[in-house]
Structure 1
Amino acid sequence: MKKSGEAMRLLGSVTQGSGAVNEDGFGVVGATEISSAWIFDGVTGINARNYLPAATDAQWLVTRAHKHLLELAGQDIALPDLLSRLVEAVVTDWKAASAGLDLPPNYDPPAACLILAKRYGDGWKALRLGDSCLLARDSDRSHRIFVASPNNAFDNWLSREARKRRDAGVLDIKALLAEFRPQLQAGRAKRNQPDGYSILECSEASLAMPEYIDLGHPAEILLCTDGYYRAVDHYEMCDDASLLDASAASVGKVLEKLRAIEATDHDCQRFLRFKPADDATAVMLALQTEEQDQ
Structure 2
Amino acid sequence: MRAETVTDAGRPGTPNEDWALANETLLMALDGATVRTETGCQHGVPWYVAKLGASLTAFAAERTDSLGVSLTLAIQFVADQHRECDLSHPGTPSAGVGIVRLNGEHLEYLVLGDVTVIIDTTDGIQVISDDRVSNTATAERAEADRHPFGSAEKQAALLRMKHAELAVRNTEGGYWIAAADPRAATHAISDRLPLNSVRRVALLTDGATRAVEPFKLLDWPQLLDVLQQNGSRELINRVRAIEAADPQCTRWPRNKRSDDATAVFAA
TM normalised by structure 2 equals 0.87
Q: Which residue of 1 aligns with 2:193?
A: 215
Verify: 1:41 aligned to 2:31, yes or no. Answer: yes
Aligned with 2:171: secondary structure?
Answer: coil
How big is each residue's C-alpha offset from its partner over 1:187-244, in whole Å with a ceiling of 9 and x where there is no partner? Answer: 1222222201220011233234122122332111100001100100111111011111
Aligned with 1:95: secondary structure?
Answer: coil
Aligned with 1:146: secondary structure?
Answer: strand
Verify: 1:265 aligned to 2:243, yes or no. Answer: no
Deviation at 1:174, TM superposition (A): 7.5
- 8 Å CA contact 1:127–1:210 kept in 2: the answer is yes
Kindly report the root-mean-square deviation, in angstroms, between the aligned alpha carbons of the 2 structures. 2.4
Distance 1:95 1:76 in 2: 25
Cα distance change of structure 1 residues 284 and 236 upon mapping to structure 2, 3 Å threshold? same
Cα distance change of structure 1 residues 207 and 46 upon mapping to structure 2, 3 Å threshold? same
Deviation at 1:27, TM superposition (A): 1.2
Deviation at 1:118, TM superposition (A): 0.6
Which amino acid in 2 is paired with 1:221? V
Q: Which residue of 1 aligns with 2:235?
A: 254
Distance 1:224 1:86 in 2: 21
Verify: 1:241 aligned to 2:233, yes or no. Answer: no
Structure 1, unmatched stretches of 5+, are 1-7, 287-294
Q: Which residue of 1 aligns with 2:76?
A: 88
Q: Which residue of 1 aligns with 2:19?
A: 25
Distance 2:182 2:217 in 1: 39
Comparing 192-201 with 172-181, greater Cα deviation is found at 172-181
Task: Name the count of aligned residue pairs.
Answer: 259
Comparing 117-126 with 150-159, greater Cα deviation is found at 150-159
**Of the two, which has the highest radius of gyration?**
1
Structure 2, unmatched stretches of 5+, are none
Q: How does 1:136-147 map to 2 (within 5 A)?
A: 136-138=119-121, 140=122, 143-147=123-127
Identity %: 26
Deviation at 1:50, TM superposition (A): 8.1
- The correspondence for 1:58, drawn from 45, 50, 55, is 45
TM normalised by structure 1 equals 0.80
Task: Answer 1 or 2: higher relative contact order, Cα 8 Å, separation at least 6.
Answer: 1
Deviation at 1:283, TM superposition (A): 0.3
